[in-house]
């Protein structure tokens, strides 16, 4: 491949896949590797870079295109067209960032290479719209409503029922999710979200209106579900949904943070597994998702049965969910995402490296500020049940305990049952210690974790 192949109209652009980046570096390598595995060439579309970022990123991708604002679809499409030439568009535009999923699809559409309808992705990222679509499709849903002011608390509580969950319409990482048991608590939760979201750590995620909904001022309220919760990653091609098995949640905290995942789920009756997977697949179909992947959360509610809790379209699961899937099934979800979104050939699936039950323990920062030290990682690696440890933070990072930051992740095997696994989690947690210094600047969104297969 020569420089002339990358000139406007050059042959290299025929298999180029643009990665839309708005922040972070850690998630770029596995995505670039997935593009190359599918026969494509990774090209980065990004905002302004520091010299250090330029150097680091240039080593990971084949080309870099910079724009003032990667969320500006018109500007981004124009910059890509200028780079590749008007008659040689790239193969596709993708991202791993929750906040940029719709923007990437819109940019692909502007270039004439979209395989997934941006409007479908936009609908699926609107939790209120998803609830309505699933109800209209005849799938079970809890009571739900939008709340637009604290004055509506009594009315909404009556409509939805109590206890209830209040959450941002397009949030992620369990950010600002609250449980309420009375109308007074609902009013207080509204006031808290309305005050903190526009100026909080993830304020940028809530700037764009979702149709007529202002996600910084209107929030979803839904009846609280009770029962085992799991997730399933799927790929949808030509209307056919393929799943890769349930991953259970064996431990959560009072912030609804997922502390532990396990594949296959523990303590879940075999006759409930199929219906939960079926509910997730039915949700993907009902929302019109196609030529894409999705990470879908589902709960087997005591009264309603399997209920889809959340749909994250356009990307596989975060943390090390993709790694769990690849180890136990041989399927690499980043490659599935690239192939589905671009039409590039899907690589041949491998044999599973670890076809046994496996768990993931996720350890979040305890406190907020600039990380000065993280102790105990080596001790965690030495734990007899731990296969591998992946650390995603380093001294100098500004962290928050307000939402899920997967700071330290441990893959675990050899556990006997749920109680044994919970004990392993707490043993691991007691080994880690985070040290912080206070900071005044806003806390940035954490980078998503997309790890390849680790050496186990």
Let me know: does 264 contact 246? Beta carbons within 8 Å: yes
Q: 235 and 206 in one domain?
A: no
Q: How would residue 172 be classed by pLDDT, with cut points 50, 70 and 90?
A: low
Q: 38 and 156 in one domain?
A: no
Residue 264, in any domain of the structure? yes
Residue 298 has pLDDT above 70, yes or no: yes
- CATH code for position 397: 3.30.470.20
Q: 317 and 259 in one domain?
A: yes
- pLDDT for the residue 136: 97
Q: Indicate the residue among 223, 256, 280 that finishes a domain.
A: 223
Residue 178 pairs with which residues in a beta bridge?
Answer: 166
Count of beta carbons in the 10 Å neighbourhood of residue 2? 9
Give residue-wise pLDDT tens across range 338-364.
999 999 999 999 999 998 999 999 999
- What token pair was written down for 444? 């940035």
- Residue 443 per-residue DSSP state: P
Domain count, the chain: 3
Residue 126, in any domain of the structure? no
Residue 454, in any domain of the structure? no
- Owner of token pair 């995942």: 261
Q: 303 and 174 in one domain?
A: no
Let me know: does 35 contact 93? Beta carbons within 8 Å: no
Distance CA 254, CA 414 (A): 27
Residue 114, in any domain of the structure? yes
Give residue-wise pLDDT tens across range 195-237.
887 665 554 565 555 677 887 789 999 999 999 999 999 999 9
Cα Rg, the chain, nearest whole Å: 22
Distance CA 121, CA 108 (A): 13
- CATH code for position 42: 3.40.50.20
Residue 138, in any domain of the structure? no
Residue 151 has pLDDT above 60, yes or no: yes
Residue 22 has pLDDT above 90, yes or no: no
- CATH code for position 185: 3.30.1490.20
Q: Of 212-216, 327-331, 444-448, which range is least confident? A: 444-448
Q: 346 and 202 in one domain?
A: no
Q: 194 and 74 in one domain?
A: no
Count of beta carbons in the 10 Å neighbourhood of residue 135? 14
Q: 213 and 176 in one domain?
A: yes
Residue 456, in any domain of the structure? no
Kindly state the greatest CA–CA separation across the chain: 67
Residue 333, in any domain of the structure? yes
Count of beta carbons in the 10 Å neighbourhood of residue 412? 22
Across the chain, what does the average pLDDT equal?
90
Q: Indicate the residue among 177, 194, 223 that finishes a domain.
A: 223
- pLDDT for the residue 290: 97
Domain coverage including residue 292: 229-437
Q: Residue 211, Cα to own-chain centre: how many angstroms?
A: 22
Q: 170 and 110 in one domain?
A: no
Higher per-residue confidence, 402 vs 261: 261
Q: 256 and 388 in one domain?
A: yes
> Model's pTM, two decimal places?
0.90
SS3 assignment, position 337 = helix
Cα atoms in the Cβ-side hemisphere of radius 13 Å centred on 265: 27
Q: How would residue 253 be classed by pLDDT, with cut points 50, 70 and 90?
A: confident
- pLDDT for the residue 176: 74
Query: Do the strands 369-375 and 92-94 form a parallel or antiparallel pair, or are they unpaired?
Result: unpaired
Q: 234 and 167 in one domain?
A: no
Q: 98 and 68 in one domain?
A: yes
Q: 380 and 255 in one domain?
A: yes
Q: Of 127-141, 302-316, 401-415, which range is least confident? A: 401-415
């Amino acid at each position: 491949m020569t420089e002339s192949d990358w000139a406007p109209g050059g042959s290299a652009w025929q298999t180029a896949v643009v990665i839309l980046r708005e922040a972070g570096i850690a998630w770029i390598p596995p995505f670039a590797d997935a593009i190359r595995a599918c026969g494509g060439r990774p090209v980065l579309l990004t905002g302004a870079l520091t010299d250090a970022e330029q150097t680091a990123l240039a080593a990971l991708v084949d080309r870099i295109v910079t724009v003032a604002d990667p969320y500006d679809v018109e500007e981004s499409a124009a910059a890509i067209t200028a780079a590749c030439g008007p008659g040689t568009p790239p193969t596709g535009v993708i991202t791993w960032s929750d906040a940029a999923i719709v923007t990437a699809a819109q940019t692909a559409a502007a270039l004439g290479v979209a395989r997934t309808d941006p409007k479908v992705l936009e609908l699926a990222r609107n939790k209120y719209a998803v609830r309505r679509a699933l109800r209209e499709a005849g799938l079970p849903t809890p009571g739900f409503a939008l709340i637009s002011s604290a004055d509506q608390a009594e009315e909404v509580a009556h409509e939805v029922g109590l206890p209830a969950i209040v959450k941002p319409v397009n949030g992620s990482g369990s950010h600002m999710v609250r449980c309420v048991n009375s109308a007074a608590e609902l009013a207080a939760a509204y006031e808290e979200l309305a005050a903190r979201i526009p100026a909080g750590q993830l304020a940028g995620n809530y700037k764009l209106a979702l149709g007529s909904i202002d996600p910084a001022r209107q929030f979803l309220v839904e009846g609280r579900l009770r029962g085992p919760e799991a997730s399933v990653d799927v790929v949808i091609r030509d209307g056919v949904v393929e799943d890769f098995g349930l991953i259970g949640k064996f431990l959560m905290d009072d912030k609804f943070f997922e502390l532990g995942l396990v594949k296959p789920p523990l303590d879940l009756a075999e006759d409930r597994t199929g219906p939960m997977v079926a509910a997730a697949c039915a949700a993907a179909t009902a929302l019109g998702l196609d030529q894409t992947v999705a990470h879908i959360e589902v709960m087997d509610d005591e009264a309603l049965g399997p209920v889809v809790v959340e749909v994250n379209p356009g990307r596989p699961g975060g943390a090390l969910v993709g790694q769990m899937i690849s180890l136990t099934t041989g399927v690499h979800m980043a490659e599935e995402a690239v192939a589905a979104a671009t039409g590039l050939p899907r690589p041949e699936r491998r044999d599973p490296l670890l076809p046994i039950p496996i768990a993931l323990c996720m350890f979040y920062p305890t406190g907020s500020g600039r990380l000065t030290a993280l102790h105990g990682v080596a001790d965690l690696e030495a734990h007899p049940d731990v296969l591998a440890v992946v650390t995603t933070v380093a001294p100098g990072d500004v962290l928050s305990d307000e939402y899920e930051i997967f700071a330290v992740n441990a893959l675990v095997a050899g556990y006997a049952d749920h109680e044994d696994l919970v004990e392993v989690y707490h043993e691991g947690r007691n080994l880690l210690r985070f040290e912080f210094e206070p900071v005044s600047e806003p806390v940035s969104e954490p980078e998503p974790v997309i790890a390849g297969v680790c050496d186990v």
